[in-house]
Structure 1
Amino acid sequence: MTPRTWQLLRLLADGEFHSGVALAHQLGVSRATVFAALSSVAEFGVQLQRIRGRGYRLVPVWQQLDAGQVNLALAADAACFQLEILQQATSTNTGLLRRAAQGAVSGSVLAAELQTGGRGRIGRSWHSGLGNALTFSLLWRFNCGLNALSGLSLAVGVAIMRALQRFEVAGAGLKWPNDILSSDGKLGGVLIEAQGDMYGPSCVVIGIGLNCSLPPALSQLITQRASALDRLCPAVPGRNQLLAAILQELAGVLQQFSSSGFACFQEEWQRYHVQQNLPVRLAMPDGSSVNGIALGVSDSGELRLAAAGGVRLFNSGEVGAC
């Protein structure tokens, strides 16, 4: 979206009607300029109501990300992070990986109001619109090598679940290796990308996306069953409070992971595992599949599957219902 479009959306963020004349006057432009700047916002998942005689209104109200509010909610943990909020990004992971290569400090966070090219596992796309998702990436540096980071995405899942429980989110759980689910479908996901060598030091960029709501226009773009926080909790948390809660939990989990690895999170992860002791089918990267009972995970985060021939361990694949 253009800078002019962003200016107008910020004026409309209160959810009230604003006439084209009033908007044009505030920005010192013509009504035609206002009309043109707002004409394509639906392509970015923005729900804009237009009524002759009343003007324009954002539906629902856009709760903007605010670094000051996030840092206030972080309290003492604010010292662990350097937060930057972008109006628009193709991918916060891509942007932060670039900064990591240039020496960005551990704890750097990039959050985006609108992410237009979010990425998931196996080359999938992550779709989100303005204000209806929380999309951010966190850079974390480790003294250990990449070979010691096994199970990290599962530990991140534990941190997210702890944060969601603060807001009484009901019915959410984890699916191996990096999905947050409810009975309605996928609520969010984690994408971890690493830099470094096998013996250290190393760094990771942890990308997290969570659906806060799913407007109809966005739902049509998603090719799998999906869910959102507004379906799962009595009062949907503001994105600033949600971001702060997740970062607080991540700070503790990542520090503990640095010293103890995934083993100390194994039991807790299995309590959140939505497919624990259920029959599943594991689709392998080579096109084959394995059926069995999901027994949880090993102390290094591998999927434990009771299959023909006994219990087997897997570190890759896509899990589905059998």
Structure 2
Amino acid sequence: MSIIKLSAIDSTNSFLRDMIANGVVADYTVVATQNQTKGRGQMGTVWNSEEGKNLMFSVFKDLSKHEVVYPFYISMAVSLAILKSLKGLNVPNLSIKWPNDILSANNKVCGVLIENVIKNKLESTIIGVGLNVNQTNFKGLPKASSLKKITGVQYNVDEVLHDIIGNIKFYSEMLEAENYKAVKDAYEANLFRKNKPSTFKNAEGVMFSGFIKGVSKYGKLMVLLEDEIIEKFDLKQITLMY
């Protein structure tokens, strides 16, 4: 495993993508930075972070020798890896908010952005992680929090990084061994608001109620609606209001 540490960069995902374009990148190459000026999240959102207080990194995962039929399993595996690390740090009330935000109670502590590299097939993936570790001020972000804000503990950021990478390897090996059901079952068992009455908003802004039942192998959220029909939604179709 190679870790490239940068004092500042626009985006660790973009840095890794440029590395891939310019040559061969070793499996589990990690790019980490103390200051990410243009961090990105799901659906084009921006990830802001105080310099030096949080974890902002990307991991290159070579998939050329392992066919991934359903790419969402990568997202599930990464979510479980982060969850396992945070449980080891005694962070309470952890869950995964579909598709791959990590929450403590109702507060977001971590976001993940996965960008697949596809040529003739899925060749590799870039796993971008933004984890709030020691930052405690989140002005204008009422649903954001950090490990320190929740537990009161000051964490060694490098130690947390190494632990997460180790757990990403652990769950990646589960996928390579084709233990797909175990990964999916564990992911669904930790889904935020699973089997609880929840309110959603569709792409047209219409609010409706339902129960999260799980995810499809393609990563769509399965919601039980009032007419007892389970409907599947992708990320652009639905927002969980909580």
For normalisation by structure 2, the TM-score amounts to 0.88
1:118 matches 2:39 = yes
For 1:29-44, list aligned pairs within 5 A.
none
Secondary structure of 2:43 counterpart: helix
Q: Which runs of no fewer than 5 residues in structure 1 stay unpaired?
A: 1-80
Corresponding residue for residue 190 of structure 1: 112
Instruction: Tell me the CA shift for residue 291 of structure 1.
Output: 3.2
In structure 2, the partner of 1:91 is 11
How far apart are the structure 2 equivalents of 1:135 and 1:180? 15
- Bigger proportion of residues as helix: 1
Give the corresponding residue for 2:63: 142
Which of 82, 85, 100 aligns to 2:20? It is: 100
CA distance in 2, matches of 1:147, 1:281: 32
Q: Is the 8 A contact 2:116 2:122 kept in 1?
A: no
Q: Please, which runs of 5 or more residues in structure 2 have no aligned partner?
A: none
Distance 1:153 1:283 in 2: 23
- Find out whether 1:313 has 2:238 as its counterpart: no
Q: State the Cα distance separating 1:290 from its structure 2 match.
A: 5.1
Distance 1:106 1:158 in 2: 20
The one-character-per-residue Cα deviations of 1:220-243 (angstroms, maximum 9, x if unpaired) are 2x5451111013336343101100
- Distance, in Å, in 2 between the alignment partners of 1:273 and 1:168 is 19
- Give the superposed CA RMSD: 2.3
1:238 to 133, 156, 164: 156
After the TM superposition, which parts of structure 1 deviate over 4 Å for at least 4 consecutive aligned residues? 144-147, 284-290
- How far did 1:168 drift? 1.1
Greater relative CO, 1 or 2 (CA 8 Å, sep 6+) = 2
- The amino acid across from 2:169 in the alignment is A
2:75 to 133, 139, 153: 153
* Distance (whole Å) between structure 1 residues aligned to residue 178 and residue 93 of structure 2: 29
Q: Match for 2:32: what amino acid?
A: A
Whether the 8 Å contact between 2:214 and 2:223 is mirrored in structure 1 is: yes
Q: Which SS does the other structure have where 2:35 is aligned?
A: strand
Q: Deviations over 1:29-55 (max 9, x none)?
A: xxxxxxxxxxxxxxxxxxxxxxxxxxx
Q: In terms of Rg, which structure is larger?
A: 1
Q: 1:111 deviation in Å? A: 0.3
**CA distance in 1 between partners of 2:152 and 2:146 (Å):** 12
Structure 1 distance, partners of 2:2, 2:162, is 12
Normalised TM-score (structure 1): 0.67
Query: Amino acid of the residue matched to residue 169 of structure 1?
Result: V
Cα separation, 2, equivalents of 1:261 and 1:286 = 38
Structure 1 position 288, deviation (Å): 5.5
Give the 5 Å matches for 1:12-91.
Answer: 81-91=1-11
Moved more, 206-215 or 131-140: 206-215
Which amino acid in structure 1 is aligned with residue 63 of structure 2? Answer: F
Partner residue in 2 for 1:267: 185
Instruction: Supply the distance in 1 between the matched residues of 2:57 and 2:212 (Cα, whole angstroms).
Output: 30
Secondary structure in 2 matching 1:93? helix
- Does the 8 A contact of 1:280 with 1:319 survive in 2? no
Structure 1 counterpart SS, 2:108:
strand
Q: Residues 73 and 183 of structure 2 are in contact (CA less than 8 Å); yes or no, is this contact kept in structure 1?
A: no
Cα deviation digits, residues 17-37 of structure 1 (max 9, x gap): xxxxxxxxxxxxxxxxxxxxx
Aligned-partner Cα distance in 2 for 1:315–1:117: 25
Say if 1:263 and 1:300, in contact at 8 Å, map to a contact too: no
Note if 1:129 corresponds to 2:62. no
State the SS of the aligned residue for 2:26: coil
- Please state how far the C-alpha of 1:249 moved relative to its aligned partner: 0.2
Cα distance change of structure 1 residues 225 and 168 upon mapping to structure 2, 3 Å threshold: same
Partner secondary structure for residue 25 of structure 2: coil
CA shift, 1:150, in A, is 2.5
How far apart are the structure 2 equivalents of 1:227 and 1:133? 11
Q: What amino acid maps onto 2:212 in structure 1?
A: A
> Equivalences for 1:250-289 in 2 at 5 Å?
250-260=168-178, 262-285=180-203
The alignment partner of 1:148 has SS state of: coil
